[in-house]
């Protein structure tokens, strides 16, 4: 027994208090239970953060796909801009050629007009009465007709060139305006999406760091829990002296008595509100009913524990333990030996329960077992 007290004292001195409101000298079993609950909560928190990170990464993927589409669109638009610029350059060259032709036509028209002016200064009647110049007059009249027709053609050509240049200029301006609007819109969208991408990448990085921290804390808690389990195994070995007094617990499968008479309200494995299954059995009975030990053993825990209220744990050797929770009062203290059928607690509703009931659980090497496989058969959910 001195070895037990020494080991327990060493554990209590090395491990910090793990929960608010814990007793000054919590037992190893309570510390193990708190650690296991903390590990479960840490895993659930990590799962929620992982789901949030996956959601953000999915949104990031959507944004990046959109950025890819816009980038491809901008690249295609740049190709169109380059092609249109080439076309505009060709239009500029054509406009220069047409300007040159226009200048040529204007100079030719000017020459025609000067010739017509000179011809018009010679009186027509004088030319007709000059018989020596008859042939010359005929040539001049013919030439004047040619000039008039050519002048008309060149005037129409100049008008056509001016209209073509106006159309080219209008087309250039319209194309450039449309391309400028499209380019500005795509650039704006791309900048906005890149900002979203940067923000979500930063958030994803924060979540990744948080997950790493949670992983480190979870591993530390798991190491502490493993150390507690090792200590519990040592404590259980010290209780082997009780096995000489009666049959081992392991040989009583299906023949153990129930801790009290009542009705089974919740069976082992029934899902809780959060989806976690019950690792014991809930028995309904009148408030204050006596709770009795199902087998000979030693009390290794007798105190209040969050989620279980006033809880008593018996060690039966071979790695087997029984747990009695939600009690109104505990009749035994840690270290006491009890016989099968001896009252160990009074039924209650501690731990925040709405109605009186007993949490009854069986563990083997820390793993929960179904009490209905170990206790006597129950008919219609009633324990008699």
- Where along the chain do its domains lie? 56-208, 246-383
- Considering the four listed CATH numbers 3.40.50.10860, 3.20.130.10, 2.70.70.10, 1.10.580.10, the one that applies to the domain covering 246-383 is 2.70.70.10
pLDDT at 135: 61
Query: What's the pLDDT tens digit per position in 170-205?
Result: 877 787 787 787 778 777 877 877 777 677 677 677
pLDDT tens, residue by residue, 68-103: 777 777 777 777 777 777 777 777 787 787 778 777
Please say if the pLDDT value at position 343 is more than 70.
yes
Please give the mean pLDDT across all residues of the chain: 77
DSSP one-letter string for 75-133: HHHHHHHHHHHHHHHHHHHHHHHHHHHHHHHHHHHHHHHHHHHHHHHS-HHHHHH-GGG
Q: Which range has the worst mean pLDDT, 169-178, 204-213, 273-282, 342-351?
A: 204-213
Res 104: pLDDT: 78
Greater confidence (22 vs 52) lies with 52
Q: Is residue 369 within 8 Å of residue 323, measured between CB atoms?
A: no
Q: Strand (E) positions, 188-342?
A: 262-266, 281-284, 290-292, 297-305, 309-317, 320-330, 337-338
Of 189-198, 241-250, 362-371, which one has max mean pLDDT?
Answer: 362-371
Confirm if 323 and 378 have CB atoms less than 8 A apart.
no
Q: Name the token pair of 290.
A: 């006596």
Give yes or no for residue 378 having a pLDDT over 70.
yes
Supply the DSSP symbol for 278: P
pLDDT of residue 240 exceeding 80, the answer is no
Which residue did the predictor score with more confidence, 288 or 130?
A: 288
Q: Give the burial string for 302-341 (b: 16+ CB within 10 Å, else e).
A: bbbbbebbbbbbbbbbbbbbbbbbbbbebbbebeebbeee
Confidence class of residue 143 from pLDDT cuts 50, 70 and 90? low
Which of 49-53, 206-210, 333-337 comes out lowest in average pLDDT? Answer: 206-210
């Amino acid at each position: 027994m001195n070895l037990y007290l020494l080991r327990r004292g060493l554990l209590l001195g090395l491990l910090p208090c793990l929960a608010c409101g814990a007793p000054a000298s919590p037992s190893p079993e309570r510390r193990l239970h708190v650690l296991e609950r903390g590990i479960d909560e840490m895993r659930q928190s990590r799962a929620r953060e992982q789901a949030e990170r996956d959601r953000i990464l999915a949104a990031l993927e959507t944004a990046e796909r959109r950025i890819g589409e816009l980038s491809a669109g901008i690249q295609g638009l740049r190709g169109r801009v380059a092609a249109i610029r080439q076309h505009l350059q060709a239009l500029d060259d054509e406009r220069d050629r047409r300007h040159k032709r226009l200048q040529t036509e204007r100079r030719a028209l000017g020459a025609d007009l000067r010739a017509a002016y000179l011809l018009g200064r010679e009186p027509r009647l004088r030319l007709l009465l000059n018989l020596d110049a008859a042939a010359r007059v005929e040539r001049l009249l013919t030439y004047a007709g040619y000039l008039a027709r050519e002048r008309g053609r060149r005037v129409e050509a100049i008008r056509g060139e001016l209209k073509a240049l106006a159309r080219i200029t209008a087309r250039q301006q319209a194309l450039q305006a449309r391309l400028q609007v499209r380019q500005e819109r795509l650039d704006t969208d791309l900048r906005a999406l890149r900002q979203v991408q940067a923000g979500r990448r930063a958030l994803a990085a924060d979540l990744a760091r948080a997950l790493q921290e949670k992983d480190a804390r979870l591993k530390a808690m798991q190491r502490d829990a493993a150390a507690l389990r090792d200590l519990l195994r040592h404590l259980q070995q010290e209780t082997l002296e009780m096995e000489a007094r009666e049959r081992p617990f392991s040989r009583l499968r299906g023949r153990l008595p129930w801790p009290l008479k009542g009705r089974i309200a919740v069976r082992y494995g029934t899902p809780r509100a959060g989806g976690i299954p019950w690792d014991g059995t809930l028995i309904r009975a009148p408030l204050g009913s006596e709770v009795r030990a199902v087998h000979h053993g030693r009390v290794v825990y007798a105190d209040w524990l969050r989620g279980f209220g006033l809880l008593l744990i018996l060690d039966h050797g071979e790695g087997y333990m029984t747990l009695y929770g939600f009690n109104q009062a505990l009749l035994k203290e840690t270290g006491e030996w009890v016989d099968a059928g001896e009252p160990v607690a009074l039924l209650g509703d501690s731990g925040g329960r709405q109605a009186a009931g007993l949490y009854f659980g069986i563990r083997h090497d820390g793993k929960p077992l179904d009490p209905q496989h170990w206790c006597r058969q129950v008919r219609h959910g009633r324990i008699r």
